[in-house]
Structure 1
Amino acid sequence: METNNKIVATSARQITQNSQYWMLISFGIFLVLISFVFNTPFEIIKGQAVILTTASNLTTDYFELANVGATFFNSGILTLHALLLIKITKAKINGSLIAAVFTVAAFSFFGKNLYNSMPIVVGAFTYAWVTKVPAERSLLAALFGTALGPLVNEITFNIGLPLGLGLLLGSAAGFVAGFILPPLAHHFVGFTKGFSLYNIGFSSGVVGTIFTSILRATGVVIEPISLISKGNNVPMSLLFFPLFTVMLMYGLYLNSWSLNGYSRMMKHSGQLSSDFVKKNGFNLTLINMSLLGFVALGFVLSLGGELNGPVIGGILTVVGFGAFGKHLKNVIPILLGVTLIGHLNNYDMSDTSVIIAGLFGTTIAPIAGRYGLVMGMVAGGLHLTVVSNTSYLHGGINLYNNGFAGGFVAALMIPLLEAVHYHREQRREIREPVDPAESIRTEED
């Protein structure tokens, strides 16, 4: 086995850290450039103004709120901003950072913008400065923590405050949220034992619930939003199918036009922290990301779903976490479980809320990776039922609602599964045949 691994490593083309960074830069530039295919510069600027100054609670589809071009421009700008932060902190590109960059790009289609993200980023890095740890240690919290961006917009523009006071209080709330997220995220990972990949999503749900409770106590009404676009399936399919094809072809090129090593990747449960770039190499990671992109697109289109902002965000998040815990073997059972329970409970399977519950519900893919197909399907079905009831708690100001719900699902299932697994192993040990020779040796000793 060791010899085979060396052969694969030798035959596969190596790609440097700098090349990986510039590939991600290219992705951000691609998002910016593609925006001008859909809208004129004036329409994009006008749409950006709307995005920056409007409440963006779940689920605010920027396609519908502004326009398609402005949405892609917003995503591209935030992607490049995330990469700038990586450069400033001198962090090395790895699986978790690739997942973070793609997640930032994804949620910039429905909730994140430069204004509501900045206070959270500053808060997270201020925590690093106060606690005298390297800024790199707070980088993931800064990037993923922008899940609470709608909190900033909500206070600034949507609760009736004068603009100056709204800017001050909104930014302050975002700063506080960003400051407390790093220690909370570190603590809460034990709650799910790493079986929910969106750990900061769960932490953000807790923080968002606290802030929402405080605001509601003062008489402010905060509710989730449902602003969804339709009719973009053809152009979005023509955009993302070729994108994932290019990713697949380049990954195969780097891997000497083979899938050597991919079966080893799928043996990982995906439990935090499964850095596929470190464990399996960038070439196989890129292949995995592209294959997950095809599966996610196929899932949406097969159920008759719309390729709107939130759904595209879900697809890109699945793709991003193809570098950090998700692969075909642990993702597909979750999607099957969501689909099965949705049909059994007569859900409208083409509804965006159901579609994104499936896509983002793959946060608990490690359950399938560790405990198999059936338990993965159970987890997916349970997630669908839980996630529809959690958004009210935080009023939609936590964009990672599925990460919040997935944390509860993992926290419920894992202790039970571990207990059953432990007792099964104990019973297996009891039933093991006794080696007479070993027994004799033991008696002689």
Structure 2
Amino acid sequence: MPHRYPTLSGIAQYSDKFKYSLLISFALFLGVSAFFFNSPQEIWQGNLTILTSPANLLTDYMALTNVGAALFNASFMTLQAVLLVSLTGARVSGPVIAAVLTVAGFSLFGKNFYNSMPIVAGAFAYAKVTKVPLERSLLGALFGTALGPLVSELSFNVGLDLPVGILFGIGAGFISGFLIPPLAHHFVTFTKGFSLYNIGFTCGIIGTFFISLMRNFGFEVETASILASGYNLPFSIMLYVLFGAMLLLGFWCNRWTFKGLKRIMRHSGQLSTDYIELGGLGATLTNMALLGIATTSYILLLGGEINGPIIGGIFTVVGFGAFGKNLRNVTPIIIGVTLMGHFNYQDNHSTAVIIAALFGTTLAPMAGRYGTIVGIITGALHLTLVMNIGYLHGGVNLYNNGFSGGLVASMMVPLLEALHVHQANQRALRNPIDPADEIENYQRSK
């Protein structure tokens, strides 16, 4: 359960109806933007292609079809996610906003209605079988669509007859969705909440199991690299307009003050941290907007291409601006990834390195808890690992960085905690000894 924080005095409270309207407005913004790039016929044909194509990392729907089709798919998937939230009766909290924006982002390069619905059905079936409210499986259902490419791969890309492939694909998706809620609940103890994409780590484990099984039966599954380019100008305008509007809305909701933002910036972000409860909706929207402006500017300064996966990374960072990320804790991670990319001769302009920096901010709580230097080291280690781990799950886990981040956190946190305890013990040994305590200890030992 999320932590409960004392409400800050003087901060306006907003209804779920208002928050729903914000999410729906975001979805409509993406949908309307689609028609600035392509005609309705092109968008329709593109979406048919999206629904019936493999979707392994990195399959940019903008390159696979066209920009309009990718944006329309993201808009539709966002509305679908909002509808699922409404049907379960869940509050529009920080985690829910993070989940909806993550779905939106990844619907530009891997998620679609066909490959996501079996996973959603599986997650909700788990809730029914275990007789818990559907709301308890909502985040598993939304984030769990990271395994959408598993459904598409089995359905369309391993050489099975189409009816058999669809049957196996839907079955694998349903089983994955059923497994995600209980496994995610267990694995959060593994990472101690220091990797925000806990379900990404869970999906990595499940995806590795399925791909190993498929390879054992002779089905080879490989990652992809289909990327769009040449759209920096229109996407820059689109993103800056979106985040500029979000910034103004945040200030308006916060009565034109920064109240609550300082509290958000000071928090480590460790799971589960709902920034709406911590600092209020206005401060949370402001934090999200600042993250969006900063990450978009980072990409442009590096000279990278803004394409489907990059926008997906930006939207995910912005979404988690309501659930653990802020400028203070993401910056060291991004610096660490960028520095490691320079020292190991990776192309820092490449999409692979840039999305490692964006999605690597899953480890932001490491910097928030242990400081800037540890954050930079964590980011550097993350890039090293994430570049080599995709083979395990064959690209069917869209949250590859969540898988890598979980492994990095599980390795570093015990080490850092051990050093912290050791340092505390050393400080205790250096403290002056009270003679009265020494006499008392001696008499007690007699």
Task: Give the direction of change, closer, same or farther, for the CA distance of 1:249–1:440 in structure 2 (3 Å limit).
Answer: farther
Question: Structure 1 CA distance, aligned partners of 2:133 and 2:259?
Answer: 37
In the alignment, what sits opposite 2:426?
Answer: 427
Say yes or no: does 1:326 pair with 2:325: yes
Structure-2 change in CA distance of 1:40 and 1:327 (3 Å): same
Tell me how far apart the structure 1 counterparts of residues 108 and 53 of structure 2 sit (CA, whole Å). Answer: 14
Q: Which residues of structure 2 form unaligned runs of 5+?
A: 1-5
- SS of structure 2 residue aligned to 1:178: helix
Return closer, same or farther for 1:163/1:370 CA change in 2, 3 Å cut-off: same
Which deviates further from its counterpart, 161-170 or 239-248? 161-170
Moved more, 388-397 or 157-166: 157-166
The offset of 1:280, in angstroms, is 1.3
**Alignment partners' CA distance in 2, 1:352 and 1:264:** 33
RMSD: 1.9
Matches of 2:286 and 2:201, distance apart in 1 = 28
For the residues of structure 2 that align with 1:441 and 1:175, how far apart are their CA atoms?
65
Give yes or no for the alignment of 1:123 onto 2:116. Answer: no
Deviation string for 1:256-281 (max 9, x for gaps)? 21212322212211111011111111
SS of residue in 1 equivalent to 2:412:
helix
Q: Give the structure-2-normalised TM-score.
A: 0.95
1: CA distance, partners of 2:343 / 2:242? 35
Amino acid paired to 2:239: F
Give the alignment of 1:304-319 within 5 angstroms: 304-319=303-318
Q: How many residues align?
A: 439
Offset, 1:441: 11
CA contact (8 A) 2:330 2:364 kept: yes
Whole-angstrom CA distance in 2 between matches of 1:116 and 1:193: 30
Question: Counterpart in 2 of 1:382?
Answer: 381
* Letter matched to residue 327 of structure 1: N
The whole-number CA distance in structure 2 between the counterparts of 1:284 and 1:431 is: 43
Give the whole-Å Cα distance in 1 for the aligned partners of 2:237 and 2:379. 29
Deviation at 1:440, TM superposition (A): 11
Q: Deviations over 1:186-215 (max 9, x none)?
A: 111111111000000000000000100111
1:296 maps to which residue?
Answer: 295
| 1:81-100 mapped onto 2 (5 Å cutoff) | 81-100=80-99
Match of 1:259 in 2: 258
How far has the Cα of 1:365 moved from its partner?
0.5
Q: Deviation at 1:26?
A: 1.0
Find the aligned partners of 2:219 and 2:119 in 1 and give their Cα distance. 22
Which whole-Å deviations, capped at 9, do the CAs of 1:230-267 have from their partners, x for residues lacking one? 00100000000011011111111121212123222122
Residue aligning to 2:275: 276
**Residues 187 and 198 in structure 2, CA contact (< 8 A), matched pair in contact too:** yes
1:54 aligns with 2:19: no
SS across alignment from 2:9: helix
Mapped to 1, the partners of 2:193 and 2:289 lie a distance apart of 24
In the alignment, the residues of structure 2 paired with residue 243 and residue 436 of structure 1 have an alpha-carbon distance, to the nearest angstrom, of 66
Q: Distance in 1 between matches of 2:21 and 2:209?
A: 39
Q: What CA deviation, in whole Å up to 9, does each residue of 1:339-390 have, x standing for no partner?
A: 1111111111000000000000000010000000000000000000000011
SS at match of 1:14: coil
Tell me the SS of whatever aligns to 2:266: coil
Q: Residues 440 and 17 of structure 1: is their aligned pair in 2 closer, same or farther, counting only changes over 3 Å?
A: farther
TM-aligned CA deviation for residue 13 of structure 1: 3.3
Question: Structure 2 counterpart of 1:206, which letter?
Answer: I
Determine the C-alpha separation between the residues in 2 that align with 1:17 and 1:289: 18
How far residue 429 of structure 1 moved from its aligned partner, in angstroms, is: 2.8
In the alignment, what sits opposite 1:246?
245
Distance 1:236 1:214 in 2: 40
Alignment of 1:385-404 (within 5 A): 385-404=384-403
State the secondary structure of the residue aligned to 1:331. helix
The answer to whether the 8 Å contact 2:254/2:281 transfers is no
Q: Mean alpha-carbon deviation: is it higher for 415-424 or for 255-264?
A: 255-264
Give the match for residue 192 of structure 1.
Answer: 191
**Is the CA contact (8 Å cut-off) linking 2:12 and 2:280 kept in structure 1?**
no
- CA contact 2:334–2:376 (8 Å) conserved in 1: yes
AA matched with 1:381:
A
What amino acid does structure 2 have at the position aligned with 1:9? S
Partner of 2:9: 9
Whole-angstrom CA distance in 2 between matches of 1:425 and 1:21: 47
Structure 1: gaps (5+ residues): none
CA offset at residue 141 of structure 1?
A: 0.3
Equivalence for 2:224: 225
CA contact (8 A) 2:120 2:145 kept: yes
Give how far 1:439 is off: 9.2
Matches within 5 A, 1:156-171: 156-171=155-170
- Please name the residue that 2:285 is paired with: 286
Deviation at 1:14, TM superposition (A): 2.9
TM-superposed deviation, 1:436: 8.4
